[in-house]
Amino acid sequence: MSRWMFLLKPPASDADTRAWLRLKGIRDIASGLIVLTTMLAADTRLVGIVPFVYAIIPLGDMSIVLGSGGSKSRVLSIHGVTCAAMLVVRLLLVHAI
């Protein structure tokens, strides 16, 4: 990876900074997918689709934290439960429409 990717120098090169930047990247990707989803499906299905797309964020956080040596129990209890809750809400919303 280029040191000057996107014309910015990383604030630090340690593992914690790299993990934090990856977390930010996951959020940027998910936000872009939400905009794309909104543009493609501007109807009642959107209410059920948006939580599904947003579930990418805790799933990505979970995998990054685990890959960085984070505590499995803590990661699953925070990010895993959040992801599962978002998917359950999605199912409930889709069936309510």
| Cα dihedral value 53, 59, 63, 65, nearest 10 | 110
In a domain, 39, yes or no: yes
Specify the amino acid at residue 79: H
Confidence band, pLDDT 50/70/90 cuts, at residue 44: low
Confidence band, pLDDT 50/70/90 cuts, at residue 40: confident
Q: Which of 48-52, 64-68, 74-78 has the lowest mean pLDDT?
A: 48-52
Contacts of 60 (CB under 8 A, 6+ apart): 23, 26, 29, 30
In a domain, 2, yes or no: no
Contacts of 95 (CB under 8 A, 6+ apart): none
The total number of structural domains in the chain stands at 1
In a domain, 43, yes or no: yes
In a domain, 74, yes or no: yes
pLDDT for position 4: 47
In a domain, 3, yes or no: no
